[in-house]
Homo-oligomer: A and B are copies of this chain.
């Protein structure tokens, strides 16, 4: 992170593979860079989908198990309802000029956010580095994360 000037740092762990929980990490990392703060994103567990080529444009939001969406669980399990909820959320996000996940990832990368995959998660999902987007700095261990996040404000999404 040598190209940044301040030494305030934010290290964000992205662990979720749903559309709604993909955004908070990106929004915070982006705001951090705009404020001149060093920012890194560490993608682990389901969050790995956010940097997996075949998956990052297919993230969904599901109404089941999320009563805040206001849809009864019995309706939420009907085939098509996840697609409908996802489509509705994408429209709402587009309407306020927030980019889709794949563009947002590129945007934060271009803004200087460092992106890292989690070695353990990559191995667990049986992926190779070729399956991941090229914007990554690399695939690192939890111990490497400890090194890189020294002195950082840590946020686990």
Which residue numbers of A lie inside 8 Å of B, CB to CB? 8, 10, 13, 15-18, 20-21, 23-24, 27-28, 30-32, 34-35, 37, 44-46, 49, 59-62, 64-69, 72-74, 76-79, 81-82, 92-93, 95-96, 98, 120, 123-126, 141-143, 145-147, 149-150, 152-157
Q: A73 and B82 in contact (CB under 8 A), knowing A24-B13, A46-B20, A142-B27? A: yes
Which residues from chain B contact A60 at a C-beta distance below 8 Å? 67
Show 8 A/B contacts (Cβ-Cβ < 8 Å), sorted by A: A15-B21, A28-B146, A31-B145, A46-B69, A61-B67, A62-B67, A98-B124, A153-B153
Which residues from chain B contact A150 at a C-beta distance below 8 Å? 8
Number of chain copies forming the complex: 3
Contact B123–A37 (Cβ < 8 Å): no
Which residues from chain B contact A149 at a C-beta distance below 8 Å? 153
Contact A73–B64 (Cβ < 8 Å): yes
Contact B46–A68 (Cβ < 8 Å): yes
